[in-house]
Amino acid sequence: MKVFLIGLPGSGKSTIGAALAGRLAMEFVDLDKEIEAKEGMIIPEIFSSKGEDYFRRVESEMLRQWAILDRNFIMSTGGGTPCFYDGISVINNNGVSVFLDEQIEVIVARLENNQHRPLLQSANVEDMRSKLQRLRDARLPFYQQASIIVSSPTVGKVLEKLRIKN
């Protein structure tokens, strides 16, 4: 089984993904970490030196490479992964997609002092809230194509939904 976690930055994809992988004795893959390893720089550096378009192409290539592998894993995708280069179709055609639908206020609290998110760097909380809401509005049509949607996600809720799908 391949499980692709999708959702906004800060929705819990990496944290829940690592915990799920541990509970299910599966490999955990953080797509952003895979990109950073391939490129030899962190995501904000890729955005600033090569641009978002370049990043999205690399992200799409890495997603496709992982999606066709003949092995099981839990993957934390980047927040935009399903939204570019037909990413949601690649995900849905190769595994189970799980949309972690976290509340904006919870995400803002998590990301307030995080400088690792190039699309959300902001001088104040209100600006970050606004950016997150715009991202959510733009990305929701992709996220809603997920096989499973989990509101206010926890490891337990995701496990429960995954067992229903199996």
What pTM was estimated for this model as a whole? 0.92
CA distance 156 to 20: 9
**CA-based nearest residue to 82, from 1, 164, 141:** 141
pLDDT of 115: 52
Number of domains in the chain: 1
SS3 percent helix, strand, coil of the chain, rounded to 5, is: 55, 15, 30
Q: List b or e across 21-45, with b for residues whose CB sees 16 or more CB atoms inside 10 angstroms.
A: beeeebebbbbbebbeeebeeebee
pLDDT of 107: 92
Residues 58-115: tens digit of each pLDDT: 999 999 999 999 999 999 999 999 999 999 999 999 999 999 999 999 998 887 765 5
CA distance 83 to 138: 9
CB neighbour list of residue 130: distance below 8 Å, 6 or more residues apart: none
CA distance 134 to 129: 9
pLDDT of 124: 75
pLDDT of 166: 47
**Does 137 have pLDDT greater than 60?**
yes
Per-residue pLDDT averaged across 42-52, rounded?
A: 93
Which domain, by its residues, includes 116?
2-165
First to last CA, the chain: 9
Identify the CATH number of the domain in which residue 89 sits: 3.40.50.300
pLDDT of 126: 85
**DSSP letter, residue 51:** -
The three-state secondary structure class of 123 is coil
What pLDDT band is residue 127 in, cutting at 50, 70 and 90? confident
**Does 42 have pLDDT greater than 80?**
yes
**Does 132 have pLDDT greater than 70?**
yes
What pLDDT band is residue 121 in, cutting at 50, 70 and 90? low
Q: What residue has token string 């391949």?
A: 2
